[in-house]
Amino acid sequence: MKHRSPLVTLAAVAVAFIIMFTVNMLVSPPGGSSAEPAGPSTSAPAQQTTSAAATPSASTSESTEDKTFPNKIVYAGRTDDKSGAIAVAVLGDQAAAYFCDGRSIESWLRGTVQVADIALKSNDGATLQASLDGDHLKGTVKIKNDRSKFEIDEAKKPAGLYRARGSKTTIGWIVLEDGSQVGIQTAAADSAAAPELNPESPQVTANGESLDAKPINGDEDL
C-alpha cells in the first residue's frame, strides 16, 4: 500500500521554502552589493591614513562635564539584546562607530556630534543615534530592519575600536573592557569571525595577508 500524505507534506515544506526565499529576495535591499554586510571594503579601498594620533594619550580632555562629549573618547559595549557589540569613537565634533555581531553582520558608521547627541549613518543605510546619559552613551542602532538598543560606557585602552585593512580583507574589532572581543573579517565574498587581536601587538594574518590593526578615532575616514 502506498501513502500520499507524506509526499503532500514534503511538497508543502518545499513550497514554504520557496516562498520564504522569494520573499527574502524581493525584500532584501536591491543591488547585490548588499550581499556584503561590510560597507568599508567596498566604500574606501584606499589605505587608511595612518592615524598615529591614536597613541595611548587617549583621554586627555576627558573632564566629565555635564552633557558634552569629551574631545576624544571611545565607547564600547554590547547591545541590550546581546545581538552584537557597538563601539563609538568621538573626536572633536566627528564620530565613527562600528556595529558587529561577530558572525556575519557588521556596519561602519560616520556622523557628527551635536553637544550631547550623535547621529551616524553608514553607506549601506544603517543608522545610529545616541545621547550622553551621565557617563553612559545611550542609543539605538538600526541595521537593515533590525533595531537594537544599547547603553555603553567608555572603553579605556586596550579596549576600544580597531580595524585592519589589506588588499583583500578588512577586519573590525571591538575590544570590550572585560577583554573580550567581537570582530568580523570580510573579504570580497564572505564574512567570518575575526581572528584574535592582541591590542598590544596588533598584527594579524588573514587570507594570507599580514595586516596591521589600528585604533579607530572619531574622525576616521570610513
Partner 1 sequence: MTSVPVPASEAPTAEPSGTKIGPVVIAFVVGSAVSIGLGVYGRLHTPTGYAVNIAGFSNGPAAKAFLASIVMALAILQIVTAMGIYGRIPLRGAWVSPLHRWSGRLAVLISVPVAVHCLYALGFQTYDGRVIAHSLFGCFFYGAFVFKMLILTRDDSPKWALPLAGGLVLSGLTALWITGVLYFLVA
Among 41, 94, 122, 148, binds partner 1 (CB under 8 A): 148
Q: Which of residues 47-86 bind partner 1 (CB under 8 A)?
A: 81, 83
From residue 135, how far is each of 64, 155, 159, 161, 162 by CA, in Å? 7, 11, 16, 18, 22
Min. distance of Cβ 136 from partner 1 in angstroms?
A: 20
Distance from C-alpha of 77 to C-alpha of 97, rounded to nearest angstrom: 12
DSSP string, 167-189: SS-EEEEEE-TTS-EEEEEE-SS
Among 2, 46, 63, 201, binds partner 1 (CB under 8 A): 2
Q: Which of residues 7-26 bind partner 1 (CB under 8 A)?
A: 7, 9-10, 12-13, 16-17, 20-21, 23-24
- Of 58 and 130, CB closest to partner 1: 130
Min. distance of Cβ 4 from partner 1 in angstroms?
A: 7
- Of 67 and 103, CB closest to partner 1: 103
The C-alpha cell at 59 is 583621554
